[in-house]
């Protein structure tokens, strides 16, 4: 895993910092502390290393006890088996549609709402902002049952009548998956905080020229918001890509399963093989780690301000 | 930044047109928040006073669900398990996160690599992590028992023994969460003014005193914030239990959210499940309100 962390780039950064200030003085306590740090790092990556190691093992090898850390050979067949497992392609498509749909809608809806709350004068603004802050505190997991019932009762969807009865609503649909995650109080709050910080002068001349609020938003403020949108985008993608509970409850049809559900089905299935399961787990974990390494600084900043995680 | 800042501007009369366009900007987000959070919260409360299920017509039952809930030994066990899990995860996570943050706030070699490594489990999907740890804990082929056997210790049935299973889940959760604590503590450490440390050093303070007298007190509001986040999050544990133990063995890992899920979708007792949900909701809300108060007082 560590070779993914672009050691060369990091060493350069560290070297650049090291020149400014010296490393801590060499003494016994520092050496012990550093050894503990190394031990903690090793303990942290160990499950990942076992995941990758087992993903290359043969069908007999996985039952050997005690298991050996180095596999006998690199058996890429496990990865092909994981990808060829029934529905894996469909699950990838489902995960991508869910994650991208949720990300794009969050970017649009949260920035629109955040802009209105930060920079537009209208009656009820304080009330709506208080509502958004209040909803930040609603624990999502405790709401899964009523959200399920509401999504099932959306009028005119899935054979429902205008009162929402008779059909299956948005159960087992992409719309049903995306809708409840399409805007979050956190996203609105974050965009609102960002837009508040931009000086009013940016849009005043455009206002004098008679530009509409949407034009000002689209042409002037949205381009300034790129870094915040990047954070919101990565966090939204990560949370939908890693989501398990909502797709699990919403979708009873096998063809609507996402990769996370697929991994759980693969692991709990009657013919589960640890090597193929670990190959699948590796394939699911890698994209998020790569996205993170590319956008590291932004994501960590976002995670700090939000305290929200995937 | 204070939440109240923006409202302090001059209040002008607002035209109909301004209202109309502002609400057009807000409408999509508000509709979604209404359907996904506000309506469900109200619906849960209403449902908890009924016996709604797919099997029979719904009727109003007053506080019956709550009375049943407080006499339900299975629910009491779930509450106990949830508290065990919450305490077991929260404190070690914070201590490890603080130690890692203090260590990596110095110019140690490879600090960015360490930070990245400690943050990796946070990025891993819960299900991938749970599946990998289910393998780590596997009694007959898993690496953990493999290592124990090699060093001459007896292998353990980690997830199959009622006295071990919850602790096994707790260890996995600490592994997955302490990176978050580290990142939040690192941010907190960077806010501590350097002058404080320099003054202490001039007065001849030693490393341990500096840590206990300056670092820890200066981080108290960060610590409190983190405590609230972790409590709120661990109270809602579900995915790991669904994948690794299904609440077993002998109900020893059945938590409140897992039982809520079972009651609703396993036994279709939606009303009873809603009562559990309401109790959970109010508990978490109380913690969140305390946390927000602290955040506001600190004016973050």
Q: Do residue B118 and residue B177 come from a single domain?
A: yes
Residue owning tokens 């341990």: B208
Looking at the fold, whether B40 and B181 belong to one and the same domain comes out as no
The number of residues in chain A equals 310
Rank A144-148, A201-205, B130-134 by mean pLDDT and report only the highest: B130-134
- Residue A6 predicted with pLDDT over 60: no
Least confident among A218-232, B50-64, B284-298: B284-298
Residue B83 sits in the same domain as residue B207: yes
Q: Rounded CA gap, B280 and B266, in Å?
A: 19
Confidence at residue A305, expressed as pLDDT on a 0 to 100 scale: 53
In a domain, B4, yes or no: no
Residues B33 and B160 grouped into a single domain: no
Quick: pLDDT tens for B5-16.
444 444 456 677
pLDDT tens readout for residues B255-284: 999 999 999 888 888 889 999 999 998 888
- The label of the residue with tokens 């298991």 reads A67
Q: Indicate if the pLDDT at residue A295 is higher than 90.
A: no
Does residue B265 share a domain with residue B150? yes
**Which residues are B60's β-sheet partners?**
B50
Quick one: pLDDT at residue B2? 40
- Local confidence band at A113 (pLDDT 50, 70, 90 cut-offs): very high
Mean pLDDT of A157-184: 82
Percentage with pLDDT > 90 across chain B: 37
Residue A243 region by backbone torsions, left for phi larger than 0, else alpha for psi between -120 and 50, else beta: beta
Both B103 and B38 in one domain: the answer is no
Are both B41 and B124 inside the same structural domain?
no
- Tell if the pTM clears 0.80, that is, is over it: yes
Is A44 close to B38, i.e. CB distance below 8 A? no
Closest CB to B238 among A29, A150, A245: A245
Q: Averaged over A111-125, what is the pLDDT?
A: 91
Note the pLDDT tens digit of each residue in B183-212: 889 888 888 888 888 888 888 888 788 888
Q: Is residue B267 part of a domain?
A: yes
Task: For residues B71 and B40, state if they share a domain.
Answer: no
Give the residue numbers spanning the domain of B40: 13-47
One domain, residues B248 and B129? yes
3-state secondary structure chain A: CHHHHCHHHHHHHHHHHHHHCCCCCCCHHHHHHHHHHHHHHHHHHHHHHHHHHHHCCCCCHHHCCCCCCCCCCCCCHHHHHHHHCCCHHHHHHHHHHHHHHHHHHHHHHHHHHHHHHHHCCCCCHHHHHHHHHHHCCCCHHHHHHHHHHHHHCCCCCCCCCCCCCCCCCCCCCHHHHHHHHCCCHHHHHHHHHHHHCCCCHHHHHHHHCCCCHHHHHHHHHHHHCHHHHHHHHHHHHHHHHCCCHHHHHHCCCHHHCCHHHHHHHHHHCCCCCHHHHHHHHHHHHHHHHHHHHHCHHHHHHHHHHHCCCC
> Which tens digits make up the pLDDT trace of A122-168?
888 999 999 998 888 787 777 888 888 888 888 877 777 777 777 77
- So what's the pLDDT on residue A2? 34
Distance from CA of B87 to the nearest CA of A (A): 19
Domain ranges of chain A: 2-76, 86-197+231-268
Partner A contacted by B123 (CB < 8 A) = yes
* Lowest mean pLDDT segment, chosen from A82-86, A280-284, B30-34, B105-109: A82-86
Q: Are B183 and A122 in contact (CB < 8 Å)?
A: no
A50 and B36 in contact by Cβ < 8 A? no
- Please check whether residue B198 lies inside any domain of the structure: yes
Place of tokens 């508290």: B83
Cβ contact A196–B40 (<8 Å): no
Least confident range of A149-153, B53-57, B69-73, B149-153: B53-57
Min Cα–Cα distance to chain B from A123, Å? 7
Q: How many domains does chain B have?
A: 2
d(CA B224, CA A5): 32
Q: Decide if A142 and B288 are in contact by the 8 Å CB cutoff.
A: no
pLDDT recorded at residue B93: 96
**Cβ of residue B5 closer than 8 Å to a chain A Cβ:** yes
Topology of A86-197+231-268 in CATH?
Answer: MetI-like fold (1.10.3720)
Closest residue in B to A43 (Cα–Cα): B175
- Which among A150, A238, A281 has CB closest to B132? A281
Evaluate if residue B88 carries a pLDDT over 90.
Answer: yes
- Average pLDDT of the segment spanning A22-33: 68
Say how far apart CA A213 and CA A9 lie, in whole Å: 43
B211 in A contact zone (CB under 8 Å): no
Q: What are the residue ranges of helices labelled H in B105-219?
A: 111-123, 126-136, 143-150, 165-190, 194-202, 207-210, 216-218
Q: Pick from A99, A123, A146 the residue to mutate for testing the B interface (most B CBs within 10 Å).
A: A146
Residue B21: pLDDT over 90: no
Does any domain span residue B1? Answer: no
Cβ–Cβ gap B183/A23 under 8 Å: no
A131, A149, A267 member nearest B134 (Cβ) = A267
Q: Does B91 touch chain A (CB under 8 A)?
A: no
Q: How many CB atoms lie within 10 A of CB A137?
A: 18
Instruction: List chain B residues with CB under 8 Å of A277.
Output: 131, 135
> Distance (Å) from the C-alpha of residue B28 to the closest C-alpha of chain A?
6
From A122, A126, A150, residue closest to B18, measured CB to CB: A122
- Apex CA A73: angle with CA A72 and CA A75, to 5°? 125
**Average pLDDT rounded to a whole number, residues B62-69:** 90
Q: Which residues of A touch B18 (CB under 8 A)?
A: 120-122
Contacts of A213 in chain B (CB under 8 A): 21-22, 25
Residue B56: inside a domain = no
pLDDT-wise least confident of A250-259, A287-296, B274-283: A287-296
Instruction: Give every CB contact of residue A232 below 8 A, 6+ residues apart in sequence.
Output: A106, A107, A110, A111, A187, A190, A191, A302
Q: Exposed (0-12), middle (13-18) or buried (19+): which is B260, by Cβ within 10 Å?
A: buried
In this predicted model, which residue has the larger pLDDT, B183 or B53? B183
Domain at B229, CATH number: 1.10.3720.10
Does residue B86 sit in the same domain as residue B224?
yes
Q: Percentage of chain B surpassing pLDDT 70? A: 93
Q: What is the pLDDT of residue A10?
A: 47
Max mean pLDDT among A63-67, A210-214, B140-144 falls in B140-144
């Amino acid at each position: 895993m560590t070779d993914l962390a672009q050691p060369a780039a990091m060493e350069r950064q560290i070297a650049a910092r090291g020149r400014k200030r010296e490393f801590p003085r060499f003494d016994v306590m520092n050496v012990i502390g550093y050894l503990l740090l190394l031990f903690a790092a090793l303990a942290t990556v160990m499950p990942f290393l076992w995941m990758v190691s087992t993903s290359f093992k043969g069908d007999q090898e996985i039952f050997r006890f005690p298991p050996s850390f180095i596999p006998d050979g690199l058996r890429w067949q496990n990865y092909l088996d994981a990808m060829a497992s029934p529905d894996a392609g469909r699950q990838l498509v489902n995960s991508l549609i869910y994650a991208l749909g949720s990300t794009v809608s969050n970017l649009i809806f949260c920035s629109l709402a955040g802009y209105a709350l930060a920079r537009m004068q209208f009656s009820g603004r304080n009330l709506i902002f208080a509502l958004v802050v209040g909803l930040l505190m609603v624990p999502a997991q405790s709401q899964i049952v009523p959200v399920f019932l509401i999504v099932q009762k959306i009028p005119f969807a899935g054979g429902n009548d205008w009162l929402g009865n008779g059909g299956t609503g948005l159960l087992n649909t992409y719309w049903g998956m995306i809708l409840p995650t399409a805007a979050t109080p956190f996203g609105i709050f974050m965009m609102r905080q960002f837009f508040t910080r931009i000086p009013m002068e940016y849009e005043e001349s455009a206002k004098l020229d008679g530009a509409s609020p949407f034009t000002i938003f689209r042409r002037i403020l949205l381009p300034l918001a790129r870094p915040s949108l990047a954070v919101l985008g990565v966090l939204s993608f990560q949370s939908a890509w890693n989501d398990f509970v909502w797709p699990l409850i919403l979708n009873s049809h096998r063809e609507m399963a996402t990769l996370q559900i697929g991994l759980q089905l693969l692991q709990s299935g009657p013919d589960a093989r640890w090597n193929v399961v670990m190959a699948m787990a590796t394939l699911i974990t890698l994209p998020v780690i790569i996205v993170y390494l590319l956008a590291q600084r932004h994501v960590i900043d976002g995670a700090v301000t939000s305290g929200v995680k995937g | 930044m204070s939440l109240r800042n923006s409202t302090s501007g001059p209040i002008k009369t607002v035209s109909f047109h301004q209202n109309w366009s502002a609400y057009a900007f807000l409408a999509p987000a508000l509709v979604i928040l209404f359907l996904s959070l506000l309506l469900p919260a109200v619906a849960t409360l209403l449902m908890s006073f009924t016996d709604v299920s797919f099997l029979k017509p719904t009727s109003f039952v007053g506080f019956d669900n709550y009375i049943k809930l407080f006499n339900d030994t299975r629910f009491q066990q779930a509450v106990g398990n949830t508290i065990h899990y919450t305490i077991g995860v929260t404190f070690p996570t914070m201590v490890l996160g603080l130690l890692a943050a203090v260590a990596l706030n110095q110019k140690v070699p490879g600090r960015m690599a360490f930070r990245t490594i400690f943050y990796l489990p946070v990025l891993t999907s819960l299900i991938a992590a749970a599946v990998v740890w289910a393998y780590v804990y596997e009694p007959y082929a898993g690496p953990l028992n493999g290592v124990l056997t090699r060093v001459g210790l007896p292998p353990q049935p980690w997830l199959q023994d009622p006295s071990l299973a919850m602790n096994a889940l707790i260890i996995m959760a600490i592994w997955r969460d302490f990176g978050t604590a580290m990142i939040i503590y690192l941010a907190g450490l960077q806010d501590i003014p350097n002058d404080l440390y320099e003054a202490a050093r001039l007065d001849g303070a030693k490393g341990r005193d500096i840590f206990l007298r300056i670092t820890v007190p200066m981080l108290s509001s960060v610590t409190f914030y983190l405590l609230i986040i972790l409590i709120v999050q661990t109270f809602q544990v579900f995915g790991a239990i669904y994948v690794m133990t299904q609440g077993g063995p002998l109900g020893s890992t059945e938590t409140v959210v897992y039982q809520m899920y079972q009651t609703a979708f396993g036994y279709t007792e939606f009303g009873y499940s809603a009562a559990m949900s309401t109790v959970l909701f109010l508990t978490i809300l109380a913690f969140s309100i305390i946390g927000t108060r602290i955040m506001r007082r600190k004016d973050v």
